[in-house]
Amino acid sequence: MNAPWSSWLHEYMHKCRSGEILVGQELMQMFDILDELLHDPDIRFDPEDANKRIKFIEEKCRHFEAPYAGKPFKLELFQKAFVTALHAFKMFEEEISKWVRLFQDVLFLVGRKNGKTPLIGGLNLAEFFCGPEGIKILCSSNDYEQAALMFDAINAMREESPSLEKVTRKNLTGIYFGNPKRRTKKSKFSYRNKGHIKKISAKTGAKEGRNIAVGAADEVHEMKDNSGVMPIRQSLSTQDEPLYYELTTEGFTNDGYLDGRMVEARQVLNRELHRPRWLVWIYTQDSEQEVWQDERTWVKSNPGLGTIKKWSFLRTMVEESKTNKATRIFVLAKDFNIKQNNAAAWLTADEITNQDDVPFDLEKMRGRIAIGGVDLSKSGDLACARALFLMGGKKYTVSQYFIPESKLSQLSKEDLEKYKSWIREGRMTVSDGNENDFRLVTQWFVKLVKSYGIRFLKIGYDKWSAIYWVKEMEDAGFDMVRVAQDWAPMSEPMKLVEADLRSNLIYYNNDNLDKFCLENTAITVNSKMEQMPIKVQGKDDRKIDGAVTLIICYRAYIDNRSDFVRLSA
């Protein structure tokens, strides 16, 4: 530590306040709270426990992944400051008549690839060795695979250190003290110590009844509610100095568990909510605009930028986000901790309207090969069928919509006039009663074959399709392929549709009904950067079936590209 600083926390706060290190306003608010604690006569500041854990990590732990595999785990200043803030503040606990760690609850939010999982993993390993005998630690996440990341990080650091490995062992259930070759040893680091480190997911049953000292929940942004974390927090209730970590980036789950926690965290920072034992350590941008206008501000949500995380990587991602909607949503949430609506509009008006779209009719497609797509949706809703053609490097598409008569009576006056207009124009076929007559969909495809000599290579259909209708189509000679409306099947074709619309490579006569569906379509992104179409938030009555059929057609096109291109030549 560099003089004259009395702790890593003091040095970090000074450099942040002087502007030498850029951090967001929300972390600055936490610094103000810590400053008040430093002057509170009822609170002691003693960095000894923090320094002990920092020393343990730097001297005993080693990295296990490229490009740092085998190298000592040297903590950055921001990491040392965090450890100090967590462990140095002490309060006198009347119930047990002793001084204990002030902070028991931690929210650590930082952009991805800034070393949060290895850091908390290292802290857990340090707690395992530096904490009291019999300490039990639990690594948790929304799924078992994510929980395993932290557990595996802890175990890999343990295995990299000969001195740590010599006094511990790992089996299928967890990490324990005691070397099988030294069973007679009786020290703290022997079989006598019944402490352990285990992993668990939010989906694992029988979470109640545990008695742990440290619980760490990774990537809580994926949790819809607190059912995965409350049993863990309750399991800490018997400890004198319980410690519960939540480490995460922002996510895409609307009204999920993290959303509620972030509301409360910001109330704490704004002095609207009193939670004196909660350390809110969050790295956030002050606005989205600064992300695009000044790359120097990127360190506000990425404190490890330039040392842990590569500038070149983030620059590439930001550049890609300027032209790819899914990447933009993902990068803003995961790299800059800017919460993204999981139903953000997919396309702009300019992208939807094809400026080069020269009107065409089916006569132009006579005798050509096509790929079909169908979104039958639920029986009482709008359905759509589509044919996609390839000609001169461009894609041409025609569609037909279907609706039950009873559905018309449920429309608003404004929408009813539009629907009646589409019915008069022949763009929408009405079925009697409360259900779509799927035979009308079959008749539309058969008409294209018989009246225009169009041949269908494949016809994709969605998961709502009736079994009997699929059989009817197959009996009519069509080759049907299932396209589930899920992340993996829909992501790639949705990206290609967006790119082709932007490049004016899709011709659809700028049809008002197709345009209506495209305008209503939103994009949602998951943690794997996969995307799916959904309705624009707040517009549940709007229809996206036309956009879905276009994406389904593109899925069948991608899977049969070679044959389709050859037959379309």
Per-residue model confidence as pLDDT tens digits over 90-136: 999 999 999 999 999 999 999 999 999 899 889 999 999 999 999 99
Domain boundary among 284, 300, 334: 334
Asked if residues 109 and 141 have their Cβ atoms less than 8 Å apart, the reply is: no
For the record, the structure tokens of 96 come out as 């047990």
Instruction: Tell me how far apart the alpha carbons of residues 324 and 290 are, in angstroms, rounded to a whole number.
Output: 19
Same domain, 463 and 517: yes
Q: What is the CATH number of the domain that holds 383?
A: 3.30.420.240
Same domain, 325 and 377: no
**Between 231 and 509, whose confidence is greater?**
509
**Between 326 and 563, whose confidence is greater?**
563
**Which one, of 222, 75, 216, lies nearest residue 148 by Cα?**
216
CB atoms within 10 A of CB 117: 22
Number of domains present in the structure of the chain? 2
pLDDT band at 209 (very low <50, low <70, confident <90, very high): very low
- Which pLDDT score, from 0 to 100, does residue 450 have? 97
Same domain, 61 and 204: yes
- Which pLDDT score, from 0 to 100, does residue 34 have? 98
Asked whether residue 204 carries a pLDDT value surpassing 70, the answer given is no
Asked whether residue 561 carries a pLDDT value surpassing 90, the answer given is yes
Lowest mean pLDDT among 75-84, 443-452, 514-523: 514-523
Helix/strand/coil for 99: strand
Write out the H or E segment, with its range, that includes residue 364: none
CB atoms within 10 A of CB 307: 13
Q: Please state the rounded mean pLDDT for residues 325-335.
A: 91
Same domain, 279 and 391: no
- Which pLDDT score, from 0 to 100, does residue 143 have? 72
For the record, the structure tokens of 299 come out as 């360190």
Asked whether residue 206 carries a pLDDT value surpassing 50, the answer given is no
Cα angle vertex 369, ends 461, 422, to 5°? 60
Cα angle vertex 231, ends 228, 236, to 5°? 130
Identify the sign of the CA torsion 317, 318, 324, 328. positive
Lowest mean pLDDT among 59-73, 114-128, 154-168, 364-378: 59-73
Same domain, 140 and 204: yes
Whether residue 426 is contained in a domain is answered as yes
Instruction: Tell me how far apart the alpha carbons of residues 213 and 210 are, in angstroms, rounded to a whole number.
Output: 10
pLDDT above 70 coverage of the chain, percent? 95
- Which pLDDT score, from 0 to 100, does residue 467 have? 85
Asked if residues 493 and 555 have their Cβ atoms less than 8 Å apart, the reply is: yes
- Which pLDDT score, from 0 to 100, does residue 538 have? 58
Asked whether residue 21 carries a pLDDT value surpassing 50, the answer given is yes
Give the distance from CA 20 to its chain's centroid: 32
Same domain, 25 and 149: yes
**Which one, of 443, 476, 451, 473, lies nearest residue 460 by Cα?**
473
Domain boundary among 276, 306, 334: 334
Produce one character per residue of 40-52: b if its CB has 16 or more CB atoms within 10 Å, e if not. Answer: eeebebebebbbe
Whether residue 364 is contained in a domain is answered as yes
The contacts found for 426-429 with CB under 8 angstroms, 24 or more apart, are 427/400, 427/401, 427/511, 427/513, 428/400, 428/401, 428/402, 428/403, 428/513, 429/400, 429/401, 429/402, 429/403
- Which pLDDT score, from 0 to 100, does residue 208 have? 46
Same domain, 138 and 255: yes
**Between 92 and 207, whose confidence is greater?**
92
Same domain, 308 and 363: no
Distances in Å between the Cα of 507 and the Cα atoms of 282, 369, 390 are 47, 16, 10
Asked if residues 376 and 438 have their Cβ atoms less than 8 Å apart, the reply is: yes
Whether residue 30 is contained in a domain is answered as yes
Same domain, 258 and 318: yes
Whether residue 3 is contained in a domain is answered as no
Instruction: Tell me how far apart the alpha carbons of residues 411 and 431 are, in angstroms, rounded to a whole number.
Output: 16
What does the DSSP 8-state code read for residue 355?
T
Q: The domain containing residue 428 runs over which residues?
A: 349-568
Instruction: Tell me how far apart the alpha carbons of residues 507 and 514 are, in angstroms, rounded to a whole number.
Output: 11
Task: Label residue 464 exposed, middle or buried (CB < 10 Å: 0-12, 13-18, 19+).
Answer: middle
Q: What is the CATH number of the domain that holds 325?
A: 3.40.50.300
pLDDT band at 343 (very low <50, low <70, confident <90, very high): low
Give the distance from CA 179 to its chain's centroid: 40
Instruction: Tell me how far apart the alpha carbons of residues 95 and 536 are, in angstroms, rounded to a whole number.
Output: 53
Lowest mean pLDDT among 124-128, 167-171, 199-203, 210-214: 199-203
Asked if residues 381 and 407 have their Cβ atoms less than 8 Å apart, the reply is: yes
- Average confidence score pLDDT of the chain: 91
Asked whether residue 148 carries a pLDDT value surpassing 60, the answer given is yes
Same domain, 260 and 375: no
Q: Please state the rounded mean pLDDT for residues 11-37.
A: 97
Same domain, 407 and 503: yes
Domain boundary among 334, 369, 385: 334
pTM of the model: 0.83
* pLDDT digits 0-9 by tens, 461-518: 987 667 889 999 999 999 999 999 999 999 999 999 999 999 999 999 999 999 999 9
**Which one, of 176, 172, 210, 174, lies nearest residue 191 by Cα?**
176
* pLDDT digits 0-9 by tens, 521-530: 999 888 888 9
Q: Please state the rounded mean pLDDT for residues 85-89.
A: 97
pLDDT above 90 coverage of the chain, percent? 69
Whether residue 339 is contained in a domain is answered as no
The amino acid occupying position 291 is V
Asked if residues 220 and 230 have their Cβ atoms less than 8 Å apart, the reply is: no
**Between 180 and 454, whose confidence is greater?**
454
Whether residue 340 is contained in a domain is answered as no
- Which pLDDT score, from 0 to 100, does residue 540 have? 58
pLDDT band at 419 (very low <50, low <70, confident <90, very high): very high
3-state helix, strand, coil in the chain (%, to 5): 40, 20, 40
Asked if residues 228 and 146 have their Cβ atoms less than 8 Å apart, the reply is: no
Q: Please state the rounded mean pLDDT for residues 343-350.
A: 82
> 279 forms bridges with which residues in the sheet?
106
Whether residue 228 is contained in a domain is answered as yes
Same domain, 320 and 353: no
How large is the greatest C-alpha to C-alpha distance in the chain, in angstroms? 90
For the record, the structure tokens of 332 come out as 């803003």
